Every structure is written in C-alpha cells, then in structure tokens.
Amino acid sequence: MISYTYMTCRMGAWKAALSAATTDGHSPLRSTGQALRLSAAGMSTRFAFTVHASNGMARAGTIAMRRGEIRTPAFMPVGTAATVKAMKPQAVRASGADIILANTYHLMLRPGAERLARLGGLHRFMNWPRPILTDSGGYQVMSLAKLRRLTEEGVEFRSHLDGSRHMLTAERSIAIQRMIGADIVMAFDECPRADRPLAEIEASMELSMRWARRSRAAFDESGGEDAGAALFGIQQGALDEGLRRRSADALRAVGFDGYAIGGLAVGEGQEAMFATLDFAGCQLPAEAPRYLMGVGKPDDLVGAVGRGVDMFDCVLPTRSGRNGQAFTWGGPLNLRNARFAEDAGPLDPRCACPTCADYSRAYLHHLTKAGEMLGAMLLTEHNLAFYQQLMAAMRGAIERGIFTDWAAGFLRDYNAR
C-alpha cells in the first residue's frame, strides 16, 4: 500500500531561508529572484531554480535557463537517439513538455558526438530548440554494452551496434555531453544493482563520488557555465541511508546546480523506492532541484513528488504507446483487449489531447491489432500528453495547498479498475 505521510524534514530550514531572503541579500532564493528579474529585463539566466509553493516535501517551481523555462515538478520525455520515438518535436512541445532527455551512450555511437558538434549540436539536428538534459552514459554502458571493463579511470566497452571499442571516462562523458550541446549535463557515475553486497555498493558509491569531482572539473574547464549549461551530481548508495548521506555530503562539498537520485527504479519495487526517497530527498540541498532518474509509472511520480522530487524521466509513456498500452486518469488500458473492439468512446474522456479529441478506442484497438504505425503514434501522443497533464495537475494542487488530498483522490481513481 502507498502511504502519504509526507516528510517535513528540513522544512524549518527552508522557511528560515525564505524569511532570510528578505533581509540578508545573500540567500540562494534572493539571488534567484534577482536572476529572474535580470532575465525579464533581457539578460539571459543560465540556471535559476525558484520554488513558488510547497506542501510538506512537495513543491512547485520553475527552472529558468537560456533556452526556456522548465516548470517543476517536470516530466522529461526520453529522446534516446535524437528523437522522441513516433513524435515530431512540435507535438512533443504541444503535449506540454518543457525539456527532453537524450542518451549520451546512444548518441556517441550513432551519429557520434563529433559529427553532432559539426552539425551544430543536437538542438538544431533534431529541431528541438528548448532545454535538453543528457545522461552521462554510465548507466547504459552497464546495461547495453558488451565486454565491459571497469577501472578507476572509467569503463572500456564494445558497442552493442558494431562491436567497436570505446572508453567512457568522466572527462570523455562531459566532453561528449558538451559537444551534443546539452543544457543540463549529468556527472559520470556507476549504478550498481541494488541487490549487491553492501561493501560493493559502498565501493561503487565512492568511485562515483570521485568521478563526480572529476566531472565538475571537466565541466568547468570546458567553459560549461559560459555556454549556458548546468551540471547535476548524482547521489548513489542504493537503499542504504548511511551511504546515501555520505554520497549527498560528498556532492554538496563539490557543489552542483541540481542533484539527481540515482540507483533507484532498478528492480527494488515501489515500497523500497519510496522508503529510500523518504530520507534521500531530505539529504539533498533544498535550494536545488532534485531529479529522480528513470521513474516511472504515474503512481510512482505522485508518490515521489510527495517526497520532494522535482524532475523525472522515463521511457514508459513512449515505449508503452508502441506496445498498445495507454495511461489514463482511470488507470492503464491495454488497447489490444477485445473489449475495446466496438468501444466508440474516447481513449480518456478527461483528456484533451489530439488522440482523445479525434479517435475512438475501437479505432485505436484496430490499429494496435493490425500493427499499424499510426496506432503507436496516436498512443504515444496521448501518453505523453497524459504525463504532462499529470505534472500540471500536481503543480496546481501544490500551488493550491491541497496536494495530499489531491494525491489520495488521484490514486483512488487510478486504481479503481
């Protein structure tokens, strides 16, 4: 069962920071406000996170960047290979997305980072002018590449595409992300399976923290801030509170624009993930955005926002759309099911996306059964729109101060079937 006893740790400090912001002129909030005013006056803001409202640990805010504003809590559609699969960029934007994620591992292998740089970067290449976050490549090297060899220096591996040999280090990962033109660059890290012995998880976390320091140095030497980019660190430590604390302290000592919670959503289950978020969120700086990597299902997002998470990415809405699954306010639907064969109603009567406005469940069932690509396109468009409507609803509930009640109502409807 999902519990909604929201953590309120650090709230005292947060409120103190809010009141201090009106007097001392040195708090992060004050400088953020100044940055936003400068932006309004025509100067560009590299990275400014502002919290507009909070309920317990849940908070609604904005991240201002040169290529656009990101409303938080934010969901980032995954554009693995320089495309959010089955979607034109204009439709991704129309769904409500402020930022997308692209994968360093895939792009370094094809079309190649240097080629992307020669072509003017990923934004121009794929025709997405708004912010892009790139992962570091570390996770996908571990999950996709062949013949990996992990050392203090980095990871040597062979491409899953053609067997070619590559080396990914903190310095090379940052260089590739900068060539891609990422607005938010992720530190290079290693993500071990959560079921490994604690000593192994500890050694891996310590390695990731050394790589985080090298990532910071490489980003600074590359002129990342002058180019308008931001750098996020990644907390590791699996499900262990002590290791997570040490990881958070190590990252805070280096200093990053935002902090990701890595090493979750790797098979530990929702209950263990939420239990970890209950302490992990509090360990990370309140004045910076928190990003839970690779999550998740709609009920995962709601539970994580209640535990202080501001940003998410996941392949679920796009991948599910290609597999005939739709997410709706009434729960997930499998369009392959014969009960939709003569259902002339909309996919989700509460959704205003183009798919729900113009097509019936019966037609989507037919397209899915027939393996037509339009079925994947229409379901992907709906799923991405649904995820963005979910984020907008959470932001609205936080701003109105009713997030806990809203979340309970959402879960009641979502799990009713």
Element (H or E) spanning 292, and its range? strand 290-292
List the interface residues with Zn ion, window 5-64 (CB under 5 A).
none
* Amino acid at residue number 256: F
382 contributes a contact to Zn ion by CB under 5 A: yes
Q: How far is CA 274 from the centre of its chain?
A: 16
**Closest to Zn ion by CB, 214 or 361:** 361
DSSP-derived 3-state class of residue 168? strand
Contacting range for Zn ion; rule: CB under 5 A; set: 128-136, 153-161, 205-213, 375-383: 375-383
Nearer to Zn ion, 46 or 382 (CB): 382
- Least separation, in Å, of the C-beta of 353 and Zn ion? 3
The yes or no reply on residue 361 touching Zn ion (CB under 5 A) is no
User: Residue 165: which of 143, 179, 176, 149 has the closest Cα?
Assistant: 149
| Binding footprint of Zn ion, residue count (CB under 5 A) | 5
Contact set for Zn ion, span 88-117 (CB under 5 A): none
Please state the closest distance from residue 127 (CB atom) to Zn ion, in A: 24
Radius of gyration of the chain (CA): 21
* 48 strand-pairing partners: 64
DSSP one-letter code for 339: G
Q: Which of 212, 229, 280, 351 binds Zn ion (CB under 5 A)?
A: 351
98, 240, 310, 313: which one is catalytic? 313
Q: Would residue 94 be called left, alpha or beta, if left means φ above 0 and alpha means ψ between -120 and 50 degrees?
A: alpha
Q: Does 353 bind Zn ion (CB under 5 A)?
A: yes
Tokens at residue 40, please?
A: 């309004």
Q: Which stretch binds Zn ion (CB under 5 A): 97-105, 256-264, 274-282, 381-389?
A: 381-389
273 binds Zn ion (CB under 5 A): no
Q: Rounded to an integer, what distance in angstroms lies between the CA atom of residue 310 and that of residue 314?
A: 14
Q: Is 379 in the site for Zn ion (CB under 5 A)?
A: no
Q: Is 135 a catalytic residue?
A: yes
Member of 356, 364, 378, 391 binding Zn ion (CB under 5 A): 356
For 149, half-sphere exposure in the C-beta direction (CA atoms, 13 angstrom radius) is 6
User: Is 313 a residue of the active site?
Assistant: yes
Tally of CB atoms within 10 A around 232 = 24
Q: How far is the CB of 326 from Zn ion (least distance, A)?
A: 8
- Do the beta carbons of residue 383 and residue 87 sit within 8 Å? no
- Which are the catalytic amino acids? 135, 313
Instruction: Kindly list the residues in this chain that would bind Zn ion in the complex (CB under 5 A).
Output: 351, 353, 355-356, 382
